[in-house]
Amino acid sequence: MQLEALLNYPRALPAMPRAVTDLLGEMNQEDPSPRRIGELISRDPALTTRVLRLANSAFFRVSRKIGSADEAVALLGLTHVRSLVMAAALGSSFKNVPGIDLKQFWRYSLRVADISRSLAGVLRQNEGNAFTGGLIHGIGILIMHIAMPEDMLPLDMATPPLDLQRAAAEKAQLGYCYAEAGAGMIEKWQFPPEMVSALANQIEPFEGEAYDPLAGLLNLASWRARAEELQLDSSGLASTFPDMVGLTLGLDLDSVLGKDPSEWSFSNALGAFVG
């Protein structure tokens, strides 16, 4: 299936929930109202539950339990609440994906989100964008499995979805990979252009005419999370580290490893996506 056909395949791209559409509309205002945002989240009980699970997870290390959408907005700020809303929406959109262990997928994605945000802090990039980008960077692989499970099966057997060579294997077979598929999906969901660019360029963030630091962060963070998933030892980490991406961003192997999550399992946050 060609990329254009994939992105127009009716069952592959879930519709954005109305509550999320309304929220993004308010958040995109020049002077968004925190009170209005809290009200919009509260109107959707399922969305509220997912947002609060994430808000009270280890990611944000809040000093007290957040019990309402209004509290989440007040304590975390609009940038992080936007990330939580988008995460909650995505978590509710993909229920069953052929060939994908969704618990493993979202745990991996949460790892990438955490590492991306930590690296963004070092490089003085927007941490909210880095978190969101890390969380959704692999969403294209879900779309591909929904739209063409028969094509994915032999690919998964030869090169599993979280293998370090997965993008190359997809490009060899299809001419594109999960990066382009994910970028196309979030563009349809009206994500900001910088987020679309980051997903599209994450495999080769500084190749050709591309120079996309956020994509570079996603590249390094996804490498680290996949390496953990594969349980690579120190020599495996050293031999697979994306040296040129790290060099361009001014980050070496040790500095990336130094941003490992304090909790790899993210058991509490996973409740927003599975179960």
Give the residues of the chain that fall short of pLDDT 70. Answer: 275
Its pTM stands at 0.90
pLDDT tens for 182-203 read: 999 888 887 889 999 999 999 9
Tell me the C-alpha to C-alpha distance, in Å, between residue 82 and each of 22, 75, 79, 216.
12, 13, 5, 22
Residue 133 identity (one-letter amino acid):
G
Tokens 């056909």 sit on residue? 5
Tokens, residue 155 = 């690919």
So what's the pLDDT on residue 24? 79
CATH code of the domain occupying 3-16+95-270: 1.10.3210.10
So what's the pLDDT on residue 231? 96
So what's the pLDDT on residue 80? 77
* Residues ≥6 apart with Cβ < 8 Å to 64: none
The domain spans of the chain are 3-16+95-270
What long-range pairs does 205-208 form, CB within 8 A, spacing at least 24? 205/245, 205/248, 206/244, 206/245, 206/248
- The length of the chain is 275
So what's the pLDDT on residue 275? 62
Residue 73 identity (one-letter amino acid):
V
So what's the pLDDT on residue 205? 98
Count the neighbouring beta carbons within 10 Å of the beta carbon of residue 205.
25
So what's the pLDDT on residue 198? 97
